[in-house]
Amino acid sequence: NSPPHRKWSERKVTIFTPMSDQQETGPTMRRLSQLESVVLWNRARQIKRELKQGVKKPYREVIDISWGDPQGGGIKPLSFVRQVLAACHYPQLLNSDKLPEDVRQRAERLLKECAGRSTGSYTATQGIPYIVKGISEFITRRDGGVPSFPNNIYISSGSQCMSAVKTGVLTPVPCYDKVNMSIRELGGVTIPYYLHEDQGWELQIEELNRALESAKGVCNPVALYVMNPGNPTGSLPQRRSSFSWLMSEFVSYKKVLAEMGPPISETVELASFHSASKGLIGECGLRGGYVELVNVDPAVMEYIYKLFSTDSCASVPGQIALNLMTHPPQPGDPSYSLYNEVIMTITQLIVFEVLNSVPGFSCQPVEGGGFAFPRLHLPLNAIHKAKEAGMQPDEFYCVRLLEESGLLVNPGWNFEQKEGTSHFRMNIMIKEETLEGVLRRLVSFHTKFMKEFS
């Protein structure tokens, strides 16, 4: 049973499965069963065991910043979110004056929408109608009045809904690895388009045209996959990439589509995903996400409804988390002062400035999201040593970083980076004091590593 943050490699196969099980397993599951996680994550678990057994290391703990989990990185959950969830799960708390009035009112309203006033009940396929309607209102508010309709929204356990993909999809490089794996495992074809790193990971029209040309004779491209903000890059798309003016803050693709006007705004199909994991509340473990479908053919919408029906419904706690994310406390509410105070302290140190001051690193500014994706400019001797070890250069670097500094980061080759480059992804949505310590460890190791192989 693999933890959700383990990455996959086809380096070697070690499977112990009864022959009868192998014969009954479908081709997709057989391909997945032939994958084994990279040695980096196995070694991290082994080191953690060694530390518990008293084995001496240059560090006291392994700090896992390989994946985006704010609470796993020490950031405390928001009180408002947890108080409402607690009252929903244990309604007796509604009678307690220890909870703020707005918390009790929200919990009461949410319980009223649950069958049997219980979070343990099933919900409608699309999600609890009250919560779905609230998400629709949030989207309309976010996009400056561009209408959103509840019938176009589906709540799921997370935000990865790629099940309908069966043909060519343009995907960015670098890209979150599970996106490409999901598309391919479902019979689709990924068509890579490269983001321009030196321009802040900009998406360029010329590169999209090149990618489309490369797909001729291979597949029929029908979809463009974008991440806003980028993962692993932490970048925000720039509107000049497609629409001739520069975007200086977050703007949704739906809003841009609406601004383009008919016939484009009425015919281009858009599926837009969001989740409680990657939203500001950082509730990764509650598994709540949604998709809004725009301009999708009615026959396809009918199929999508049937598709979601196969899972009965999304987790109710995850649905509640989405309500709390899209409708946080407002000025004047009893919970607002504390909520706003905590939100304002969730800051990201200027990681790129620190790394760019160290030879051998270059890092683009982090404009959104919770990741930095610094580039490694490794000496030739280090690259040759990695090849001798049967590793990619950045994987070799990351293994040494783990062994010598106790830092677990995600090698860039997992994100299908541009050939000839080396990177790693690090989660920066962690406690400030932890992030400061991480940077000290990282810079100290990097300096020694570069000196060793220069």
As a whole number of angstroms, the distance between CA 62 and CA 69 comes to 15
Among residues 292, 200, 193, which one has the least CA distance to residue 252? 292
Confidence of residue 391 (pLDDT cuts 50, 70, 90): very high
Instruction: Please state which architecture CATH assigns to domain 29-66+343-453.
Output: Alpha-Beta Complex (3.90)
The arithmetic mean of pLDDT across residues 371-390, rounded, is 97
Reported as a single tens digit per residue, the pLDDT across 109-156 is 999 999 999 999 999 999 999 999 999 999 999 999 999 999 999 999
Residue of 108 and 281 predicted with greater confidence: 108
Residues contacting 170, CB < 8 A, separation 6+? 191, 192, 193, 208, 211, 212, 221, 223, 224, 225
Tell me the residue length of the chain.
Answer: 454
With bands split at pLDDT 50, 70 and 90, how would you rate the model's confidence at 5? very low
pLDDT at 244 over 50: no
Place of tokens 């001051």: 357
Domain boundaries, the chain: 4-24+104-326, 29-66+343-453
Average the pLDDT over 306-330 and give the result.
Answer: 94
In this prediction, residue 29 carries a pLDDT of 44
Q: What is the pLDDT of residues 282-300, one digit of tens each?
A: 899 999 999 999 999 999 9
Query: Residue 225: pLDDT above 90?
Result: yes
Alpha-carbon span 295 to 266, nearest angstrom:
6
pLDDT at residue 239 in the model: 61
Closest to 407 measured CA to CA, from 379, 377, 449: 449
pLDDT digits (tens, 9 = 90+) for 198-210: 999 999 999 999 9
φ and ψ at residue 293, rounded to 5 degrees: -110, 125
Whether the per-residue pLDDT at 401 is higher than 80: the answer is yes
- For residue 159, what pLDDT is reported? 59
Q: How far is CA 353 from CA 25, 374, 411, in A?
A: 50, 11, 21
96 three-class SS: coil
- CATH code for the domain defined by 4-24+104-326: 3.40.640.10
| pLDDT, average across residues 29-50 | 70
pLDDT at 43 over 50: yes
- What's the pLDDT score for residue 348? 54
Q: Per residue in 34-46, is it b (16+ CB within 10 Å) or e — as a string?
A: ebbebebbeebee
- What is the structure's pLDDT at 347? 55
Say how many C-beta atoms besides its own lie within 10 A of residue 377's C-beta.
11
Taking the C-alpha atoms of residue 238 and residue 200, their distance in angstroms, rounded to an integer, is: 9
